[in-house]
Structure 1
């Protein structure tokens, strides 16, 4: 795997293999050839870097399964279930007027994901931990509240289905504060991430834009140039965070909301495994000297 300062090639390759093989298993694929072919694909992609091996191995798996998929998305039913569970969970919450409560919820909701090395998502944990207090890095509630009260425009980079219902709460709260919010979503499926086709149907008082493919927004140079024009970029989830670290796009206006589901990321930020994190800025993401 092409060297990135935060990457352990062995851990990352084992992680992508575990994720893809788990997806095949969940879809009822049992023939050895499918696993062998997908494993070979991962190894061939490995020299191209973390983002490429994760995204393109998923794309390869989707093509492999195209004859049994109605819409080229192996996670359609799972996404609908996650959105339904999240909607039911939200109906039982009592939210006040403080925007910080909505930010904390969005970070905590990032527990949704496909299986990965060192982490397995469960709906039970999703529900139980939704109000877990995040770790605050390079900001604090008062500082972030003040920043949000003075921004005019925000780009919101979404992540997984289910947690998107909590993103939507935050997005609507930001809009109610007079902030222009533009939501960026993948145009093609990737794991259990929400896509533009889903988000556009829920776009009320905010704009939605489709990314060119199913990589993170930070992967595309044209999109990064757009993001420079916002007062703030809210980036959800590990793939957006890790793609930022790999591409180093030069943005300094990013608020990262994620759970440290990857053991490497937990160690990097010195937080407990699976801890929700609110990180302001990019100082901690720079390559060490």
Structure 2
């Protein structure tokens, strides 16, 4: 886990993060990292809202699973992807959240994921399983072939 956290991304983009931020939580195994990120951002002056599904889809973290002092937790209406319920800048991990943002379109976002398959590795021109940090607008450029 420590190696994965400090592994240098193959594709990394620096973007300015606005004051108000939604952090999308999904996988229960990664929720502790999301909570730490939310707490750090709050300490640095960001208004942070963590977003969770009301009903678990596979192994998603739920509101009752979280302890985040002083950080608002927003619960979706059902088990739909949390990105569909956000109106503002979001930070999301994982391919499923990236796909949901692409389907919704036009969202200001920052994505953290691994290019776990050949398709993603080719699309982003990175080695397979490489970590990627990228904005939603840059993803759209890759989709258009720029």
- Identify the TM-score tier after normalising by the shorter chain: 0.7 to 0.9
Q: What's the CA shift string for 1:26-56, capped at 9, x where partnerless? A: xxxxxxxxxxxxxxxxxxxxxxxxxxxxxxx
Distance 1:177 1:130, change over 3 A: closer
Alignment of 1:262-281 (within 5 A): 262-281=117-136
Counterparts in 2 of 1:131 and 1:209: CA distance versus 1, 3 Å: same
Matches of 1:205 and 1:262, distance apart in 2 = 38
| Higher relative strand content | 2
Unaligned ranges ≥5, structure 2: none
SS in 2 for 1:209: strand
Larger radius of gyration: 1
Distance 1:129 1:178 in 2: 27
SS at match of 2:29: coil
The alpha carbon displacement at 1:128 in A equals: 4.4
Displacement of 1:235 in angstroms is 1.4
Matches within 5 A, 1:38-49: none
| Aligned residue among 179, 183, 195 for 2:46 | 179
Shift of 1:254: 0.4
- Is 1:233 aligned with 2:79? no
SS in 1 for 2:32: helix
Find 1:259's aligned residue among 114, 122, 125. 114
Counterpart in the other structure of 1:156: 23
Any conservation in 2 of the 1:185–1:194 contact (CA below 8 Å)?
A: yes
Task: State the Cα deviation string for residues 193-251 of structure 1 (Å, max 9, x = none).
Answer: 2122312xx12111001112222123x3xx24xx2xx3x31112111001222x23321
Contact 1:187 1:197 in 2 (8 A): no
Flag the structure with more relative contact order, 1 or 2, with Cα contacts below 8 A and sequence separation at least 6.
Answer: 2
What are the ranges of 5 or more consecutive residues in structure 1 without an aligned counterpart? 1-125
1:249 match: 105
Report whether the alignment pairs 1:215 with 2:101: no
Deviation at 1:267, TM superposition (A): 2.0
Aligned length: 144
Cα distance between partner residues in 1 of 2:82 and 2:105: 10
**Cα separation, 2, equivalents of 1:266 and 1:193:** 26
Q: Given that residues 10 and 127 in structure 2 are in contact (C-alpha distance below 8 angstroms), is that contact kept between their aligned partners in structure 1?
A: no
Distance 1:129 1:169, change over 3 A: same
**Structure 1 Cα separation of the partners of residues 38 and 95 of structure 2:** 19
